[in-house]
Amino acid sequence: MLTEKLLGHSGSMLGACSGAIAGLVAVTPAAGNSGPFGAILLGAIAAVLACLFVMKVKPKLGFDDSLDVFGIHGVGGIVGSIGTAVTMLAVLGGPAGDDYVLMDQLWIQVKSVLVAIVWAGVGSAIAFSIAKAITGGRVSPEIEREGLDLGEHGERAYNM
């Protein structure tokens, strides 16, 4: 909600819930080794970055993510996976010892995230290609405007 306000919008419950989910997604990879302060910091950073992505980057890229799945889960997961290295620090309540080298672990985390992005991208492209070959991809603009319930299923979801 604070990030929404800072971006010139009114704070909303949707924004608050989305930020909470982004924070929970981010702390999940770090949950076994994060102290309370590290978890709060990581969640707050992920919530702010997810909000910025959803409100600023997504409209500029113009892609269809009506439920902000990538904006919240994708961005939150990337932030959390990389930030796991930071939450290990003893100053943040993590279990890192004197031999812990933050920059080395950060580089490992970044490489792991890049591999995961490529893996998910290739798998998604294959799945989308198969689905498009079978179903034809998107519906026509007329059916989309009319609504999928009526256009594709021949029924109304709500009585209006």
10-69 pLDDT per residue, tens: 889 999 999 999 999 999 999 988 989 999 999 999 999 999 999 999 999 988 888 899
17 shares its domain with 94: yes
81 shares its domain with 122: no
Q: What is the pLDDT of residues 118-147, one digit of tens each?
A: 999 999 999 999 999 998 888 888 888 888
44 shares its domain with 122: no
88 shares its domain with 106: no
Q: How much is the pTM? A: 0.84
Last residue of a domain, one of 100, 129, 150: 100
d(CA 87, CA 109): 12
Domain with 152, as residue range(s), is: 102-160
54 shares its domain with 66: yes
Closest CA to 23 of 11, 15, 32, 12: 15
62 shares its domain with 85: yes
Last residue of a domain, one of 71, 100, 129: 100
Closest CA to 19 of 3, 38, 39: 3
d(CA 25, CA 47): 10
47 shares its domain with 94: yes
38 shares its domain with 74: yes
Q: How many distinct structural domains can be found in the chain?
A: 2
Would you state the structure tokens that stand for residue 94, as one six-digit string? Answer: 């993590």
